[in-house]
Amino acid sequence: MGEGHSGCSAAAAILTYVSTLLPRPAGSRTLAGCCPRFAQAQTGGIGTTAPNASALLDLNSTSKGLLPPRMSQPQRDAIASPANGLTIYNTSTNALNTWNGTSWTEAITSATQPIVQNTATTFVYTGGVQTYTVPAGMYSLGINASGAQGGANYDGTPGGLGGRVATTLAVTPGETLTLYVGGQGGMGPNPGSGGAGYNGGGQGSSFNGGGGGATDVRVGGTTLAERVLVAAGGGGGGPYTYKANNARGGAGGSPSARPAFSPRVAPVAAAGPPRPPVPPWARVVTPRTIMRAAARAAGATTAAGRAASAGVRAAAPGRRPA
């Protein structure tokens, strides 16, 4: 070939490859042999006059593609000692397969296969509303939420821990989620009661801790009806008692906090149904109620002593009963 054949390198690239697969007649030459410039350059292109220097072969086309060898899975598995990076099209699974040195791996064949993005964003209590915008390409979001702990009572008995919710939400790129992270309930002061935790915590009774606030996620707005996830707050530290067994608050999600004492049941009268147990909220014990109970007990003891003395006098010989 003479000078001026600018397409020599491209033709040589593909024809040299083909010539290694097919028997070459005796005396024939490859195109690389007739075009020494290609053999020295060690790069070539098809459909381009300026192949990329980092490519062994640069293909450029707007109407054709690269067609790898097509074979069934048994045929693929029969390849002896495949080289790392060897790629074929698996006609059994309709997917590109590449040998990674240990096994054949399959390329993603459709957008329905999940792509995991291991990026975590943590939201903590701020006392206000927070938002999260779903990034591009994300269609599911894992959420691990915890409610706030309840406050301790006056002498330090802790409140219950908040509830925990772990789930996956279906989301849309660009969608905005509104988050309310609960605040811990306040400790029961003297005098007074523990404050309510942010986002739904209850105010504590006298000397007792306040309830922890819930943590929730809302979609489509900020009303309670638009909550899609709620992790309940813990109950406040139980009733304060003087030198007595106090109660911890209930864990988030439980129907109620544990009472300090077992419910008291009134004596059954001769007629009529039994009286219901006294609820915990009606049995809050304070120093004042303790003093009143002691006074009533002292009065009952004095009255019983007077009655016993009267009985003894009535039984004495020679004396008339009072």
User: Could you read off the pLDDT of 168-213 as tens digits, one per residue?
Assistant: 889 999 999 999 999 988 887 777 788 888 998 888 877 788 888 9
Q: Establish if 79 belongs to a structural domain.
A: yes
Q: Establish if 181 belongs to a structural domain.
A: yes
Please report, for residues 3, 16, 24, 32, 40, the alpha-carbon distance to residue 10 in angstroms, rounded to integers and kept in the order given: 15, 10, 20, 10, 13
Q: List the end-to-end C-alpha distance of the chain, in Å, as a whole number.
A: 150
Judgement on whether residues 142 and 208 belong to the same structural domain of the protein: yes
Domain count along the chain: 3
Q: Establish if 273 belongs to a structural domain.
A: no
Judgement on whether residues 135 and 173 belong to the same structural domain of the protein: yes
pLDDT value of position 299: 58
Indicate the burial class of 180 (C-beta count within 10 angstroms; 0-12, 13-18, 19 or more).
buried
Q: Establish if 118 belongs to a structural domain.
A: no
Judgement on whether residues 146 and 183 belong to the same structural domain of the protein: yes
Judgement on whether residues 78 and 44 belong to the same structural domain of the protein: no
pLDDT value of position 16: 40
pLDDT value of position 306: 53
Judgement on whether residues 141 and 216 belong to the same structural domain of the protein: yes
Judgement on whether residues 100 and 161 belong to the same structural domain of the protein: no
Q: Which domain holds residue 58?
A: 8-62
pLDDT value of position 217: 94
Type of residue found at 230:
V
pLDDT value of position 29: 47
> What distance in Å separates the CA atoms of residue 200 and residue 309, rounded to the nearest whole number?
60
Kindly list the strands in the beta sheet with 95-99, ordered across the sheet, starting from the edge strand earlier in the chain.
Answer: 70-71, 87-90, 95-99, 104-106
Residues with Cβ within 8 Å of 261's Cβ and at least 6 positions away in sequence, in order, are 245, 283
Judgement on whether residues 30 and 89 belong to the same structural domain of the protein: no
Give me the residues of the chain with pLDDT under 50, please.
1-23, 28-39, 254-275, 278, 281-284, 304-305, 308-322
pLDDT value of position 55: 84
> What distance in Å separates the CA atoms of residue 246 and residue 240, rounded to the nearest whole number?
6
Q: Establish if 316 belongs to a structural domain.
A: no
**Residue 154 structure tokens:** 């006056």
pLDDT value of position 72: 95
Q: What does the H/E/C string look like for 143-167?
A: EEEECCCCCCCCCCCCCCCCCEEEE
CA 142 to chain centre: 5
Judgement on whether residues 83 and 96 belong to the same structural domain of the protein: yes
pLDDT value of position 197: 87
Judgement on whether residues 153 and 214 belong to the same structural domain of the protein: yes
Task: Report the sign of the C-alpha dihedral through residues 123, 128, 133, 139, in that order.
Answer: positive
Q: 39 φ, ψ to 5°?
A: -60, -35
Residues with Cβ within 8 Å of 1's Cβ and at least 6 positions away in sequence, in order, are 8, 34, 35
Strand 44-46 and strand 70-71: the pairing is: unpaired
Q: Establish if 72 belongs to a structural domain.
A: yes
